[in-house]
Chains A and B, each alone.
Chain A
């Protein structure tokens, strides 16, 4: 994903001289050195100064630049929440914030580096768009939109390889969930790495004779209210799947729409108000109940509740 990030950013910067890149001493981790080599004047490595980086991005955007600012997810959000809020969002500026290593993918960096709250706290900022792409084709396409649309964006980004989900040249629209599987008994909404996990669960469910619709809900905000409400009407039960705290994340966003529009049974797969810890991703998936099997169990439970 990071190679795609850098390559796309270079393309965007070639097409539009306003595009600039900022980082806080993680350019090597993010593999963005090629951008620096191509555009040294338009690259600002702020060192380990996340707050300063966000403020500088705000100032640059006030002069018409389109800044993409990256650091690890927790430092791109909770560490600089007030800077994003006041210097960026409240000032109605135009910053594209990239937070890498979402949730359990922070793996061996452990609890300090493992954001289960980043999308939730970003969702709470007025006007902020919150995105979690699930594969590199999607990343490329939505980065173009992020650059072209004025405003504050938070994009949660896996650095490593994502499982390929979409055909080359697939097109996406920010705010519109992508239907990946049709189904009758239940609808599952997932984002990021959990989309691939959900497709695995889908296979298991199929073998059990359960027909599940699957959506990639890559835009957490503004959330696709129509897709959620229509799915609730059609299938009568919803499961949400996120590599994030179930409080204030995707599950909460879906629950809000359901409660107001079409209350149906809902079960949430996600981190249940816990801090992260060190370990390989496979272990963390089990530890935080984020596996295909956990999804299957929630689906069975929600279908039982339908009746």
Chain B
């Protein structure tokens, strides 16, 4: 269990990530806002509490790795990385600008702290498995975290990996499914219903847990438990909301990618102010 102070710190970090993500996308005027916001709490736990990282040496051999297979969540990941000191916070304003180091989709060759290039959905599970096998061959005690979208698990390659990982007892692989219930064209249940995601992974041989993906304490507990698994990979199904934590985005049906008109710009400004106030209050909490 997290101590109260640790939880407050994570709340602060999550609020900062959400705030910076909004600023990035507002500055650009468009972006994959829904699926970036839904993993903010997960990123806060990973980068704030769980992962072995070294911002001064992003390629540190003993680090834990993160593969964000839903590569379009880049803006939220960049916010977390900048806040941890992988690169200056100002760089966030270069999102998607010509010659930027922060493209729409995660790129291992451009961005300090990004461990794998993603963007073509479904592929991250296989690369994460490869990395996990590499750690095992080298007897390295590093974990590989893998974030996939619920829409993304439409992809057949996800199920190739889902079959492979338990057969190779990859207990250094922790899969996090961002179950925000939506994909680009609408609700996942209407497009190509995924059924009960947890049952599917369980039947493939994964250790499965289901948590509230907006609850920092629950996410932490679940990952903490997953790290102790032996002989099985872990899948954590995160119950999230697409656009999580920003009311107007949550309430927009088509929120996978939003192009900001004056209205969205204004609503985002209000959300930024609200989050800034929240952050100030959290700063005061001891």
Contact = CB atoms under 8 A, between A and B. Distances in A.
Interface of A: 20, 41-42, 44, 46-47, 49, 51-65, 67, 82-83, 85-87, 90-92
B108 interface: yes
Interface in B136-152: 137-138
Contacts of A59: 116, 126-134
A91 B107 CA distance: 7
Contact of A65 (B118, B128, B134, B156): B134
A91 B116 contact: yes
22 contacts: A51-B157, A52-B129, A52-B160, A52-B164, A55-B125, A55-B161, A56-B164, A58-B130, A59-B116, A59-B129, A59-B134, A60-B130, A60-B133, A61-B130, A62-B108, A62-B131, A63-B134, A64-B138, A82-B123, A86-B118, A86-B123, A90-B117
Nearest to A53: B126
A56 B117 contact: no
B127 A42 contact: no
Q: Which of B115, B117, B126 has the most CB of A within 10 A?
A: B126
B139 to A, nearest CB: 11
A16 to B, nearest CB: 13
B120 interface: yes
A61 B127 CA distance: 9
A53 to B, nearest CB: 8
A86 B137 contact: no
B109 interface: yes
A58 B108 CA distance: 12
| B interface: dominant SS | helix
A63 B129 CA distance: 11
B245 interface: no
A93 to B, nearest CB: 8
Contacts of A67: 130
A171 B271 CA distance: 67
B135 interface: yes
A56 B123 CA distance: 9
Contacts of B127: 55-56, 58-59, 62, 87, 91
Closest 8 CB pairs of A and B: A59-B130, A55-B126, A63-B134, A91-B117, A52-B160, A59-B127, A56-B130, A59-B131
Contacts of B164: 46-47, 49, 52, 56
A58 B157 CA distance: 14
B55 interface: no
Q: Which of A41, A55, A64, A67 has the most CB of B within 10 A?
A: A55
Contacts of A46: 164
Given A56-B129, A92-B109, A62 B115 contact: yes
A55 B131 contact: no
Given A60-B130, A62-B115, A64-B134, 4 more contacts: A52-B129, A52-B164, A87-B120, A91-B109
Most buried by B among A52, A57, A60, A65: A52
Contacts of A57: 130
A49 B117 contact: no
Nearest to B109: A92
Interface string B147-179: 000000000110011011000000000000000
A65 B116 contact: no
Nearest to A54: B126
A56 B137 contact: no
B126 A58 contact: yes
Contact of B134 (A54, A60, A87): A60
Contacts of B123: 51, 55, 82-83, 86-87
A67 B126 CA distance: 14
B173 to A, nearest CB: 10
Contacts of A85: 120
B157 A52 contact: yes
Contacts of A20: 137
Nearest to B168: A44
Contacts of A63: 130-131, 134-135, 137-138
B160 A49 contact: yes
Nearest to B158: A52
Interface in B91-132: 107-109, 115-120, 122-132
Given A46-B164, A62-B116, A55 B129 contact: yes
